[in-house]
């Protein structure tokens, strides 16, 4: 019996294109100015970034690196865009509907994404389906561990407080699905583009 659902964001609840074509360029264009204007706030985040911080972070954005410092800064920059209405988080209608239904049924909902917890809350809090954050009981990012390692999922299960076999993980990434499965999670591979996964939308998920 599934008592909790852990979901990825990019390519799963939300469009990959929204992240790559809207969020990444937005942060990239504002990175240098934001760091200059928030030097005190940025300093502890940048302490482990090698070389010239702006140059390194810009390269990491272009390479889609899953570096915690980058994800933290992106979240802070995006927060301003969401707050002033420039950005609106994309969530697929089938995902929003299923999340609301599962929550109403008493299933615990959690997020695990390479984006920072702050960024996760923004995409759901300012989504095109309204504020979805009240549906979620917890959020996990790369500070928990790499998404392609089984140990990360075991840590999440311990934090949630449920046996691994009672948690369902949803993702569009095969390596992530394999890692979660190795940890004992139930899984669904979501493939919205080709239909080659277990499901093509949240509407097809049977608990």
Total count of domains within the chain: 2
Q: For the residues of 2-63, what is the DSSP string, one character each?
A: --EEEE--BTTTB-HHIIIIIIHHHHHHHHHHHHHHTHHHHHHHHTT--SSHHHHHHHHHHH
Q: 21 with 103, same domain?
A: no
User: CATH number of the domain that 34 lies in?
Assistant: 1.10.720.60
**DSSP label at residue 162:** S
CA–CA dist 134, 132 (Å, integer): 6
Q: 175 with 147, same domain?
A: yes
Range of the domain at 126: 4-15+89-204
Q: 77 with 158, same domain?
A: no
Q: 59 with 150, same domain?
A: no
User: CATH number of the domain that 154 lies in?
Assistant: 3.40.50.1000
Q: 30 with 131, same domain?
A: no
- For the cut 90, the answer to whether the pLDDT of residue 2 exceeds it is yes
Q: 165 with 180, same domain?
A: yes
Residue that finishes a domain, picked among 83, 116, 134? 83
Confidence (pLDDT) at 61: 94
Query: pLDDT tens digits, residue range 105-126?
Result: 999 999 999 988 999 999 999 9
Query: pLDDT tens digits, residue range 161-194?
Result: 999 999 999 999 999 999 999 999 999 999 999 9
Own/partner contacts of 195-198, CB < 8 Å, gap of 24 or more, are: 197/172
């Amino acid at each position: 019996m599934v008592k909790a659902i852990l979901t990825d964001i990019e390519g799963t609840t939300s469009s990959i294109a929204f992240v790559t074509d809207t969020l990444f360029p937005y942060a990239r264009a504002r990175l240098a100015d934001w760091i200059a204007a928030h030097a005190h706030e940025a300093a502890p985040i940048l302490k482990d970034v090698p070389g010239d911080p702006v140059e390194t972070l810009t390269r990491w954005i272009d390479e889609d690196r899953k570096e915690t410092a980058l994800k933290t800064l992106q979240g802070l920059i995006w927060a301003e865009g969401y707050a002033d209405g420039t950005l609106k988080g994309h969530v697929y209608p089938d995902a929003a509907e299923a999340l609301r239904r599962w929550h109403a049924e008493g299933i615990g909902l959690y997020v695990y994404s390479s984006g920072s917890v702050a960024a996760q809350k923004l995409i759901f809090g300012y989504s095109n389906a309204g504020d979805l954050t009240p549906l979620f009981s917890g959020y996990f990012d790369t500070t928990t561990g790499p998404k392609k390692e089984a140990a990360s999922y075991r840590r999440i299960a311990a934090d949630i407080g449920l046996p691994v076999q009672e948690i369902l993980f949803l993702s569009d990434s095969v390596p992530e699905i394999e890692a979660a499965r190795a940890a004992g999670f139930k899984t669904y591979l979501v493939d919205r583009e080709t239909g080659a996964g277990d499901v093509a939308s949240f509407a097809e998920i049977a608990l």
